[in-house]
């Protein structure tokens, strides 16, 4: 997020959030600048805008105000966003639909590990829907926003910082690493491969086998 002050005006560069839009309109003189694709407010109201940012996003444009964590969301029930709006949780765009049959777009800092969002509703009132059983990983979530109420059927877990996995790592954990071992063995048995490459593959095989044994 960024605030740029030019003369007597301040321009707010933030992620899209319908709650932020609703609250920023409470500042007199606030308007959407379509050329910059930013909200424009009187420069004298910057601190008020920062308070709105903190309430909605858990942070503002000032650096190092809050600790960030990685969060895993589990959806035990199907969750729908508001009509024609993004589904927002902890200030992150979980999913957004652009039509009844458009499918849903996942926002930045969000990865789905189980299931995936889709679109639903009617042509006039479409929305994003996350199915029951879905699991999503949210990165860079301000810790100060975790007090926010969650939709019914959604729970969260803070991932340990040193072990917070990527989407690829979680998928590998889900499916296991056994499938990769035969390929590594075949490569090791390929005597035509250059010696340095075989040495690297041997090192990789030992690491993979160690992980395999540790999981058992």
Which range has the worst mean pLDDT, 6-15, 133-142, 168-177, 197-206?
197-206
pLDDT of 216 reads 46
Mean pLDDT of the chain: 82
- Digit-coded pLDDT (tens) for 62-81: 876 678 899 999 999 999 99
Its pTM surpasses 0.85? no
pLDDT of 63 reads 77
Instruction: Give mean pLDDT, residues 11-29.
Output: 92
Long-range pairs for 91-96: beta carbons < 8 A, 24 or more residues apart? 91/15, 91/17, 91/56, 91/57, 91/58, 91/141, 91/142, 91/145, 91/148, 92/138, 92/141, 93/15, 93/16, 93/17, 94/128, 94/130, 94/136, 95/128, 95/129, 95/130, 96/128
- Digit-coded pLDDT (tens) for 102-111: 999 999 899 9
pLDDT of 208 reads 46
Contact present, 138 and 73 (Cβ < 8 Å): yes
Strands, E, within the chain: which ranges? Answer: 2-6, 9-13, 31-33, 38-42, 68-75, 79-80, 87-89, 92-97, 104-105, 110-114, 118-121, 126-130, 135-142, 154-159
- Digit-coded pLDDT (tens) for 44-63: 999 999 999 988 888 888 87
Length of the chain measured in residues: 216
Give residue 185's pLDDT band: very low, low, confident or very high (50, 70, 90).
very low
Spell 5-36 as b/e; 16+ CB within 10 A means b.
eeeeebbbebbebeebeebbeebeebeeeeee
Asked whether the predicted pLDDT for residue 114 surpasses 50, the reply is yes
């Amino acid at each position: 997020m960024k605030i740029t002050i030019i003369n007597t005006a301040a321009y707010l560069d933030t992620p899209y959030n319908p709650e932020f839009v609703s609250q920023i309109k409470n500042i007199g003189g606030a308007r959407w600048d379509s050329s910059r694709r930013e909200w424009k407010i009187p420069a004298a109201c910057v601190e008020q805008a920062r308070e709105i940012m903190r309430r909605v996003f858990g942070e503002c444009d000032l650096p190092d105000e809050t600790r960030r964590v990685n969060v895993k969301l589990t959806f035990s029930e199907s969750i729908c966003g508001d009509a024609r709006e993004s589904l927002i949780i902890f200030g992150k765009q979980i999913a957004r639909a652009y039509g009844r049959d458009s499918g849903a777009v996942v926002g930045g800092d969000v990865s789905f590990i189980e299931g995936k969002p889709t679109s639903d509703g009617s042509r006039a009132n479409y929305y994003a829907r996350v199915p029951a059983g879905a699991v999503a990983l949210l990165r860079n979530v301000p810790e100060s926003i975790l007090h926010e109420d969650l939709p019914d059927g959604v729970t969260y877990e803070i991932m340990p910082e040193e072990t917070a996995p990527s989407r690829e790592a979680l998928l590998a954990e889900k499916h296991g690493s056994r499938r990769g071992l035969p390929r590594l063995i075949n490569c090791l048995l390929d005597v035509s491969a250059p010696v340095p490459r075989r040495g690297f593959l041997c090192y990789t095989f030992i690491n993979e086998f160690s992980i395999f044994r540790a999981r058992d």
